[in-house]
Structures are given as structure tokens and as C-alpha cells.
Structure 1
């Protein structure tokens, strides 16, 4: 008999049917009741074992974590909080689990403990919910862009270009590290390396994406990116996924429209498809909030925060206006901010971004026209000569979630900016070609996928929304 998913059994409209279910034991109580879960839903289905006619040896093997197959009748449950249960006629142990050694016991574990057991943590309710939400969000990303006629482009993971100009990249080499070849100047001779040049893992697919937008009109990338930033904060990963659309003929206003529409679509889609998981995660977070001091508690519950994004238009505010608001704000005047805003040109921190969203405007905010000297070389220079056509989207509880810009389409201006920043024109000759041959206004943005999953699930540490986090001194599993 073909087995039926637990999710489908719980959503069934008919009972008294003979069915088979397979999954893992969450709990086994009174030598009779198995809480079975197969990963298809946050909810377990209760399986009632005929313990009087089941061998003691088999009953002893029904332990937390064991894989089992149950065949029986789906009936209406007499217990509270569950619609159906399985009256078990036949039970088979598919895989034993040592109850003394299995770390995922039916009790609350710390997130740090679960990170140390990342290969098993997805068996908990919380991480099962997080990964289902992540999966649905990923599908929603593709669904949105495909419906809009975007072309999905797989940009390279290995690259010779540093899109951000930050230099925090992982080097890729096949050279023998204990005997590196040197050239006549005594430097490493990368001509003898696998690719014949210095190469790295990418920090962004944007630059390559722009070349495709100049032919296909509207494209998006969605793939892994890497940053060798020696940071152990709750907001940084060394390996993460990026969503990066690029659209020919879009100016900054078009870019803001696209980003707002996109992010509202994927959140709404996920809320509809993952209602049970999000309800569970909200309850989990509410319990966590009770243990925090009043001043550190979130002002909005998870679903309220998600609806806050869906139900409010995003307020568009220039960087200059935002600086004036922050400079005159009460927390700035009373020096409650960790980073005091004194003058125009300051690089905004999360505390400033959250103040604008949560306290001042009370809606999501899009900041635009940032100082050129704190933004990347490829952003279009405004006529004032000191700001660029950049934009950041700010959300409650997290601050910046999207960063983008209208790209600098003018060849001569782009070259001058690269010279001023010491960026080698020969390294990016192909990028400059897009400005030499049929250049046009175009725009795009980047959204760190884990940052989005963090926001939608309400988790507070980015290491808890990716299967196997890669961080400094940690490449386990």
C-alpha cells in the first residue's frame, strides 16, 4: 500500500478508510499513543497502538526519533485538539533510534545547542517550520518573477570581479599553498593558477546580471554568494543566497515600485501557504518574549508585523530628509542612540533605520539618494555631484532588508568613478562594454534571502534560517 502524507490525512474529508503512514516518532506515551510526524506539516497525527496484541519487544523500539510505518484505519479522534487519528492494525519499525543518545528529545532546547546539532535540528517543530517557510518563500520568488516575464539567469559563483569593492572575498585557487609560484617581481604568479588569474567566490551576481539585462530586458538571479567578513554577529553569514533582479529602462522610481510589489507578493504568498507554521512560530516567539525585560520586547507579534508590511504603502524618504529627522529626534538629542547623528553623510545603522520605521513613520520606509561616498561605484551619480540614485528598504525589527539603485549608464561618468576608487578598468572591461554598446537607463536591487526568511519567521539569528550556517571557524556538516 502506498503511504499517505500526514498533512493529507489531517486534511482528509473521509474516515474509516484503510491507510498507511510513515514518519518519525515525536512522542510515545502510555505504551499506546504515538505522535507521528513526516515533515509535511507542523502537526502530528496520533496513532493508537493495540498494545495488548503488540509484542513487548516492538513496543520497546517505539522511541523518540524512530522511523515507523503504521497501517490502519483513519477515524475521528476522541481526544481534544485533533480531528483524526489512526487506529493501528499493523506497525513496523523502519529504523531504530537510541533513546539515550538521540539529542532531539521532546523538550525545549537552546538555539545554540541546536546549531551544534544542525544535522538533526530540522526534526524539531521550530526548524521544521522554518525550513518549510524557507522553501515556500523560495518558490514565491521564482513564481513572482516568472509571472512578470523575467528571465532566470545563473551567474557565476567563481569570478575575477569584486562587485562591492569591499575586498572581503574567498579566494579560489589550485596552486600548492606550501610552494606558491612567484613571478619576477616576487609576487604570486596567478598565470599558473587554474584560471590563469586571481579568482574568488562571488559576493554578488549583479554585474554579470546587468550584461544580460542589456539584452533580455528583465532578468533575475537567485543563487549562493560568499563574503569573507570575520564577523560573528547574529546578522552575518559567510555563505548566503541573494535575489538580484536587473531591469533595462527602469529608473529609480520604477525600481522602488518593483521592490515593494515583489516583497509584498512573496510575504503574502507565504502567509497563505504556511499559515500553520507561522502560527506556531508566532506562539514560540510570544513565549520567548515573556522572558525578556519589558524594554527589549517586540512591539508587534509576528503575524502583526507581516501584515504591517502588507497593509501599508512604503514611505519614500530622501536620505537628506531622514538625516534631519534623526538629528532632531529625541533619542539622538538624549544620546540614546549608540551612534549619534551629528551631520549629513553619516552611514545609517540599524537603530536609526528602525527608528524611522517603528517610531517616526510607522510604516515600511524606502530611503533614497544616499551620499556617493558611502555607496558602490556602479550607482548613478545625481546632478548635485554628491549623491547617488541608491535606495534601501527598511522594515520593522530588522532595519535594511533590500538595497538597490539606478545603475550608472554613462560610460565617461562610470570610468571617472572607477578611477577615483582605484578600480582597474582592465579587470572590468566587459562591464564597461555594456556602456559602450547600446547603454540605457537600468536599475536593480539585491535582497539577501536569509534576511527575508529571518523577517518572515521572526527568528533573531540568521544562523537559524539556513540549513547549515557557514561562519568564522565553523564549516561543520
Structure 2
């Protein structure tokens, strides 16, 4: 079906753009017996000037390979043709006479579109550190690794969208401005009008303040406090009340000052909500969500790894950089591919079992005099990054779902499990993967109106004076035909990190934002 749709859209017409370098290289139209005149626009990645014949590699960013351009007469090569210059090349595309590439462009005409000073151009051929490229974020997409990351993001989004489409989900757009905090942690960016006193900041309509800033009610642009969304979940739940299966991939914002390799202030989340479980009932349905999430990730990633147009990008992403070691990356790549292509199902363990295993490991470390966990594991405490990585990398050696966390540590909307006589838990899960830690989090949503109201009281969303206030609409979803439903959220940059072997999520997004850094 996808092939039919693709052909329909690529059929030549007055509305069709010229082929990209990727399309030219992958096409069977151009070969040794069927050469053709083509025009290519892109940037010079490298150039070799010789006495008679010169060679250049030109890229338009659509493929990691680039296209070799052959100048049969070096006099055709203008002196302005340098690394980074943008050009339009016209010539004949056909089978390459040299090694290293299947096709090449024999250039007949050169037009330099944009000059690039080789003395000051920051993107040189030598290895460049992540920190240097972050300082030149506006140009770093010119590098092979960052361009490969962008194409990997595209491929993952394409395959996830296709999988969800096949499962009957409808893609919806959710707002970025909101009056609620879905996570309840208070780590939101608050919006405030620019006052006359702040007019020297610029002619924009709003500015962002952190969660500690509290403009007066009279100054609220929307008549109530407004925030950048931390999650689309609550809005998705309202859509799910009318469209049974919905999903979105949209930006989320969190004003947390974490400086780890897993955190960004602006990131993308794939979130989904649906009203029927593939396995189980609402009481035990969290395992059903795990089943769905595993199937979605394995199918999407498998297609990306096997797709001809992304294999080269995967190799580039997994290649060592100036900051990384090859042996460790090779081992991590094998673990990831085993998780995707292996026959065994991913492990599921309860939070209680995870804590027991972590406590035993903590005691072994203490007895053996080894470096201990920085945070001592204990029931009721959140799993720290070091705990998550130990569970996935050491204990399991692959992806693992941890389910049934303590109720008091989870948001109000998660379904309360039946009391087991000892501890109260929520019907929720986190998916932990090696090298990353938490990749996905989800739960059965609390559909029982009385239980939900009690939970909202416990977390302070209900008061004697105002009742549920701005959350009254959320209770309406239960009052008026509400039914059991489930959902999850997956950090898209963390998925890119796991699939592409990219150590830091700051290299998994085009223009990263984190506390203390906002260049563009």
C-alpha cells in the first residue's frame, strides 16, 4: 500500500520537484546504458583538484553518500568552488568508472550559488567535538553525523506513523499552551505578558518565565496562568473520548535544570491513548500496554534498520566520534539489534521485584567494597538513572518493563490497583533500555469517578473553596460516557539515541535547549 501511495505522489507532473541526490542514486533509470542529463543542487563536501581532471563530492542532505562530480577538464572548476560552497551542477549521470561509488555526474556546467570562505568556515574535515558543534548549532547539520541523525528521526517518525495507522489510530494535533500540568511536578515554563518595564526585551507578545514567577492575575493574558505543555496526555484523553484511538508527536517543555545526557528543556514526545486493551482488563491491563508498546517499537525500528535508505545513516550514527569509543558502541549496537530482531519477548518485572534486586546488588557492592550506587534503593523511592541502567544493562541485558509503581509516587490519573494487603500501587509501567534508561512511560487511566476524585484531592487539585477548578473538565470525561482507556508517552530523542547509538540526547535533536543554553 505504501509503495502505491509513493508512486502516486512521485508520478512526473508539472507539480513535481526535480529529483534529489538520494532519488538519483537509488533510481534504476540511470545506468551505463541509460545516461541522462540532470541538474543537481547542493553543497560541496570535499574537492580534489588535479592537473587535468578534478573531483568533488556534492551533498543536498538527503543521503549520507553524496554524489561524486567529475570535472573532465579542471578549467571547469572555478576558484570559488570550495568546501561548503553551494552549487548547481549540470551534466550526465551514469555508471561510475572508478571505485567507491556506483554512479557519478560528469559535469558540463557549474554555477556557484553561494560562496564559502574556507579560512573561516567552522565545519572543517577533521573530527569535531560535540561541544564545538553545539556552539555552531546553526551549521552543524552540515556534518555527516548530524545530517544522518535528522534522516534517522525522519525514518523513525515515518515508520511509527505507519504502524499506528495500521493499528487504526488517528493522528491529532494538541495545543502547546495549556492551563494544566499533566505531570503535577510543577516543572513548567510559565507565560507572561511583556510589561512596559520589560519593553526593551523586544517586540514579542510573550516571554517565558520559570515556575517561580507569578504574575498578578490582572496581568494574565488568558485570564488564568498559562504554561508551555509538559505532556499532551490530558488533551489526548479528551480526544479519545470521541475518537477511540489517537496519537500525536509534538514538543514538550520542562523547566528542570538537569544537566544529564538524557534531559532537554524542549523535546518531542510520541503519545497515544486508546480505549480497548489488547490484553487483560483494566485491573491487569498494564501488561497489555507493554505488549502493544513492544510490538510498535520492534516493528518500527526493524523497518528502519532494514530500509535501504537508512542503513548508511545507521552506520554513520553508530560510528565512533571524537568523544566515544568503538568497542562500547559495537556492543551496544548488538544489544539493540538483538532486542529488535530476537525471538524472545521483552522482560516484565514489578517495581517490587526491581527494588529487591537493586537492594541485593547494593548490599553486594557494599560487602565487596565496590563503587556503590549513589542513591540507596528503597521501596517508595523513584528509580534513579543508575538503577534503571543497572536493571536494563546488567540484570536483564536488554529492554525491560517495570510495572506497578507505588501509588504515592505517580500522577493522579493513573489507575489504582486493587490493594494487595501490603502496599498500594498504580497500574503503570516504564520501559527501560540499555544505554538510555527510561524510554517509555504509560498507564491504565483511572476511569472510576469516585476514585479519581479522591486521588485529585490527595494531590491538592480539589479544594473546599474552588472544587476542581480548572480540572473540572477532566472529571467531565468520566461523568459523560467515560470508559476504561490506556496510554503512554515515548521520548522521541531517547528513541533516536537508542536506535542510533547516540550517547547524548543533545545530539538527537536539531537545536537542543537545556538550562543555561538557548543559542537560536
| Fold agreement, TM-score > 0.5 | yes
Q: 1:146 — aligned with what?
A: 165
Distance 1:164 1:333, change over 3 A: farther
Q: After TM superposition, what 4+ stretches of structure 1 lie above 6 angstroms from structure 2?
A: none
Q: 1:184 — aligned with what?
A: none
Contact preservation (8 Å) 1:3, 1:22? no
Q: 2:39 — aligned with what?
A: 20
In 2, distance between residues paired with 1:102 and 1:299? 32
Contact preservation (8 Å) 2:156, 2:300? yes
Q: 1:471 — aligned with what?
A: 514
1:438 aligns with 2:457: no
State which of 281, 284, 296 in structure 2 corresponds to 1:262. 296
Q: 1:182 — aligned with what?
A: none
Deviation at 1:219, TM superposition (A): 1.0
Q: 1:67 — aligned with what?
A: 86
In 2, distance between residues paired with 1:428 and 1:287? 47
Q: 1:377 — aligned with what?
A: 412
Deviations 1:331-353 (CA, angstroms, capped at 9, x unpaired): 47545342354532232122222
3-state SS of 1:382 partner: coil
Distance 1:188 1:174, change over 3 A: closer
Contact preservation (8 Å) 1:332, 1:340? no
Distance 1:277 1:110, change over 3 A: same
3-state SS of 1:216 partner: coil
1:41 aligns with 2:63: yes
3-state SS of 1:260 partner: helix
1:229 aligns with 2:256: yes
Distance 1:280 1:303, change over 3 A: farther
Deviation at 1:30, TM superposition (A): 2.4
In 2, distance between residues paired with 1:249 and 1:454? 31
Q: 1:283 — aligned with what?
A: 319
1:198 aligns with 2:225: yes
Distance 1:6 1:284, change over 3 A: farther
Deviation at 1:363, TM superposition (A): 3.0
Matched positions, count: 462
Contact preservation (8 Å) 1:6, 1:40? yes
State which of 471, 481, 490 in structure 2 corresponds to 1:447. 490
Distance 1:423 1:287, change over 3 A: closer
In 2, distance between residues paired with 1:165 and 1:199? 15
Contact preservation (8 Å) 1:365, 1:393? yes
Deviation at 1:112, TM superposition (A): 0.8
Deviation at 1:50, TM superposition (A): 3.1
In 2, distance between residues paired with 1:135 and 1:33? 30
In 1, distance between residues paired with 2:167 and 2:314? 27
3-state SS of 2:241 partner: helix
Contact preservation (8 Å) 1:353, 1:400? yes
Q: 1:8 — aligned with what?
A: 23
In 2, distance between residues paired with 1:428 and 1:300? 47
Deviations 1:269-312 (CA, angstroms, capped at 9, x unpaired): 2213311110122233699315xxx8xx3572425523423424
**Superposition RMSD in Å:** 2.3
Q: Bigger CA drift: 143-152 or 126-135?
A: 143-152
Contact preservation (8 Å) 2:262, 2:436? no
In 2, distance between residues paired with 1:10 and 1:287? 32
State which of 139, 154, 167 in structure 2 corresponds to 1:120. 139
Q: Bigger CA drift: 222-231 or 322-331?
A: 322-331
In 2, distance between residues paired with 1:62 and 1:226? 42
Deviations 1:384-419 (CA, angstroms, capped at 9, x unpaired): 261111101111111110011111111111111121
In 1, distance between residues paired with 2:63 and 2:247? 31
Deviation at 1:145, TM superposition (A): 1.5
Deviation at 1:52, TM superposition (A): 4.5
Q: Show the 5 A alignment for 1:97-112.
A: 97-112=116-131
Contact preservation (8 Å) 1:282, 1:303? no
Contact preservation (8 Å) 2:254, 2:266? yes
Distance 1:92 1:466, change over 3 A: same
Contact preservation (8 Å) 2:179, 2:470? yes
Q: 2:208 — aligned with what?
A: none
Deviation at 1:191, TM superposition (A): 4.4
Contact preservation (8 Å) 1:175, 1:193? no
Distance 1:413 1:177, change over 3 A: farther
Q: Bigger CA drift: 324-333 or 166-175?
A: 324-333
In 1, distance between residues paired with 2:382 and 2:367? 18
Q: TM-score, normalised by structure 1?
A: 0.91
In 1, distance between residues paired with 2:340 and 2:410? 26
